[in-house]
Amino acid sequence: MRVGIFGSKYQVEKQSQIKRLFEKLISQEAEIYVDVRFYNFLTDILNYEPPVAGLLTDDNFDLDVALSVGGDGTFLRTAARVNRQDIPILGINTGRLGFLADVGGNDIEDTLEELFKNYYKIEERTLLRLHTEERAFHGYNYALNEIAILKRDTSSMITIHTSLNDEYLASYQADGLLIATPTGSTAYSMSVNGPIIIPQSKNIVLSPVAPHSLNVRPLIIPDTYTITLGVESRNKSFLISLDGRSEVFPAGIQLTVTKADYTTKVIKRYNHTFYQTLREKLMWGADARMK
């Protein structure tokens, strides 16, 4: 099995888990490839030089599976690297919350054992695509979590004129507007009181950020809709963020958001469900009175 490993550089205290991961892969006789930046971190900072078949230096690679070692941010960066190469991703959580990277340190060996026995399921996760006629966003223009339209720094509110399938919806006066997938409903969107949507839902949620009016609320729409946006800003610019990758846009440019024509494949254990993640990560339904 050809296994690619992508990781975060902010996990010095997790080096024992990282070494256990490599040791298990070596014992399974995996063909190991490591992202070059993560490999440099392992050798230069952790003084650990695992045996590898090669280094991943660009975004084109032939793997059977990709391992994301870190938190959800690392998983999002891994998904962007994998892009549409149809490689399933397993998230090993050495970060904090971990919705996408939900395999804990204590489960590394068991999870990899299941991986090599092909005992796992694959969930296909929807992505969003940002389109502008001028190709204004210069990076990877897809998002697994959300596309955020935001004011810059401490500037005044922006106005976001929003249409669905060419029919006018509303003009949001706010600090921003989030367009989130079901996967992203437990990320930034949740922090601004957006609803939680199970990953299998065919929906998108629009959640305003600090709206000026009390009569606007998050809105769930089908993921087949086309969302068109125009932004007004006093300082003539605003911020676009795709899963945390941000660029400054000039006001007046038209933005179009649609569902992507491909999905991200996420590896999940059979004994682990989204509802279990809600209970463990968000203390879903927990009652502090119950001991």
Place of tokens 């280094």: 55
Backbone phi and psi for residue 8, each to the nearest 5 degrees, phi listed first: -90, 150
To the query of whether residue 107 is one of the catalytic residues in this protein, the response is no
The answer to whether 128 and 259 have CB atoms below 8 angstroms apart is yes
Cα three-residue angle 144-217-215, rounded to 5 degrees: 155
Backbone phi and psi for residue 172, each to the nearest 5 degrees, phi listed first: -80, 120
Consult the annotation and say whether 256 binds a ligand. no
Consult the annotation and say whether 155 binds a ligand. no
Place of tokens 């070494």: 19
Backbone phi and psi for residue 230, each to the nearest 5 degrees, phi listed first: -130, 140
Q: Looking at residue 123, what DSSP letter applies? A: E
Backbone phi and psi for residue 96, each to the nearest 5 degrees, phi listed first: -110, -90
Consult the annotation and say whether 77 binds a ligand. yes
Cβ neighbour number for residue 13 with a 10 Å cutoff:
8
Consult the annotation and say whether 126 binds a ligand. no
Consult the annotation and say whether 73 binds a ligand. yes
Consult the annotation and say whether 193 binds a ligand. no
Consult the annotation and say whether 189 binds a ligand. yes
Backbone phi and psi for residue 113, each to the nearest 5 degrees, phi listed first: -60, -45
In the chain, what's the furthest Cα-to-Cα distance? 60
Q: Looking at residue 72, what DSSP letter applies? A: H
Cβ neighbour number for residue 229 with a 10 Å cutoff:
21
The contacts of residue 25 (CB under 8 Å, 6+ apart) are 3, 32, 112
Consult the annotation and say whether 20 binds a ligand. no
Distances in Å between the Cα of 9 and the Cα atoms of 40, 42, 51, 91, 238 are 9, 9, 19, 15, 30
Consult the annotation and say whether 183 binds a ligand. no
The contacts of residue 135 (CB under 8 Å, 6+ apart) are none
Consult the annotation and say whether 171 binds a ligand. no
Consult the annotation and say whether 1 binds a ligand. no
The one catalytic residue in 35, 72, 102, 243 is: 72
**Residues catalogued as catalytic:** 72
Task: Specify binding-site residues for NAD(+).
Answer: 72-73, 77, 145-146, 175, 186-191, 210
Task: Specify binding-site residues.
Answer: 72-73, 77, 145-146, 175, 186-191, 210
